[in-house]
A and B are shown apart, each in its own frame.
Chain A
Amino acid sequence: MRTGDAPTRALGYADLPRLIAAMRGDEKHSGAAESTVDVLWVLYDRVLNVSPATADDPARDRFLLSKGHGPMAYYAVLAAKGFLDPAELPGWAGSDSRLGMHPDRVLVPGVEISSGSLGHGLALGAGMVFGLRARGLTEPKVVVLTGDAELDEGSNHEAIALAGRASMAQLTVVVVDNQSATHGWPGGIAQRFAVEGWATRTVDGRDHDALHDAFTTPHPDRPLCVVAVVEPKGS
């Protein structure tokens, strides 16, 4: 900051609609973006130990947006938390913008993985936990966000079983459930994780305190799945 500049007002949850609106156009995935906004805010505001100043710290917490579709809420939260300049948002998905319809970690500060093709984040997250463990970094959390329809991809189930058996207490998966999976998940999504040895919580995906509790209740010997239920897609 140059001398004489007024301190920038910290942006908050109330600013997110304005930041998202800055990106609104004919973006067809806008519904998905909305479904994740509360989960993303609670994570970045109250759970994750990461900031622009610690974005390269090996001991930082890591957030992986596996469901790369509809990243408006993600970019808005990154802007609110200082990873991005809000002035960058209106030009998103343009040829001069770093911000694509699917985020690219090589281009966007604070973005931990490039995503867009569904079903890649869980295995990447499990690999990160293996790597952190091998380096003696047993405190940092790795939080992966998926959608209920994304779980259709079989690659997720390879990673769910693997992380469960490897007792990955550092790993959290949050499934934003807007009931959009074509064939559904009879018996509930949490059951798919529980049978593989995960701790599970199913909460209201719009309730910030419930999300916070779900993310922070200890699960010392196993990975955690938080199913964040939101209104059905298109409702």
Chain B
Amino acid sequence: MPGMREAFLSTMDRMLDEDPRVAVVLADISAASLADAARRHPDRVINVGIREQALVGVAGGLALAGMRPVVHTFPSFLVERPYEQVKLDLAHQGAGAVLVSWGGSYDMPTAGRTHQSPGDVALIDTIPGWTVHVPGHPDEAVAVLRDALPGDDMVYLRLSGQSNAHPRPGPGMQVVREGTRGVVLAVGPMLDRVLAATDGLDVTVLYATTVRPFDGATLRSAVTGAADVVLVEPYLAGTSAHQVSEALSDVPHRLRALGVRRDVEVRRYGDVADHDLAHGLDEASIAAAVKAFLDRA
């Protein structure tokens, strides 16, 4: 099965043929994969070279000229490096774009900190008006991408090399399993390991591909017994904690937020599994964290 990045690129190759409003903006990353499309649509596949401020600025100008820009590179270079361009050249202009990153928090573990961006969603979350999708399967990625292209709004699509076995496309939060002792919310690629980690526990498991807007209504209605929530996000721990607090503002509740650790920079290479372990995002660590949290109730 092709991964999310390949699914994204092949979808864009087709969508450039189908929708004359769509333009893809690149900064060398993935340019070779769209070389064919660039030959067919030289005006709408724009590789700015290794210039990430221009990458986002050009996207803003394209949108202001009536196009639908799709902007793609690694999250470090799409959100962190040109953060001010994301804030000003898109949001402040009232200009939309679909920003598509691939690389997650540590999909390139041997590349080190320069290619890790666990803070991307938190950064985007500082700017009003963004829709944020964190698909857990390539089919979900294609579905939200196809939905985003006809619009004019600001969409961040966070693709990763980590994936669940089966797609669960759909808006908002889905109830995957029902229980009474608490709620575990798994975001994107975290679902399969959350299901395994909570196997046999009397908890509700919710799943979300789309985290902004945050489906607080579904979370609130899932809290029927104990208002104990475990949030499992594949990026910076607690990125959605404020959304959980808001959704449960009318009920006393407890929250445990799992994700990429904030307390240290993990200076380690190895493979993705090593980093899952270092951040407590492997199945066993999640299981231990959920049990300890419920037992303290």
A interface list, Cβ under 8 A from B? 58, 104-106, 112-114, 117, 119-120, 122-135, 154-155, 158-159, 161-162
Contact = CB atoms under 8 A, between A and B. Distances in A.
B64 A158 contact: no
B48 A117 contact: no
Given A127-B61, A134-B20, 12 more contacts: A114-B88, A120-B85, A123-B60, A124-B58, A124-B60, A124-B89, A127-B59, A130-B43, A131-B64, A132-B65, A155-B53, A162-B54
Contacts, number: 106
Contact of B57 (A58, A106, A124, A154): A124
Contacts of A162: 48-49, 51, 54, 58
B58 A127 contact: yes
Given A113-B64, A114-B92, A120-B88, A130 B58 contact: yes
Nearest to A58: B66
Given A112-B64, A114-B93, A130-B43, A123 B23 contact: no
A133 B53 contact: no
B282 to A, nearest CB: 40
B94 interface: yes
A134 B48 contact: no
Contact of B48 (A114, A129, A158): A158
Interface residues of B, number: 30
A124 B84 CA distance: 13
Contacts of B65: 58, 127-132, 134-135
A92 B134 CA distance: 43
Nearest to A115: B88
A171 to B, nearest CB: 10
Contacts of A127: 57-65, 69
24 contacts: A114-B92, A120-B57, A123-B85, A123-B89, A124-B60, A124-B61, A124-B64, A124-B89, A124-B93, A125-B61, A126-B54, A126-B61, A127-B59, A127-B63, A128-B62, A131-B23, A131-B66, A134-B23, A155-B53, A158-B48, A158-B51, A159-B57, A161-B51, A162-B58
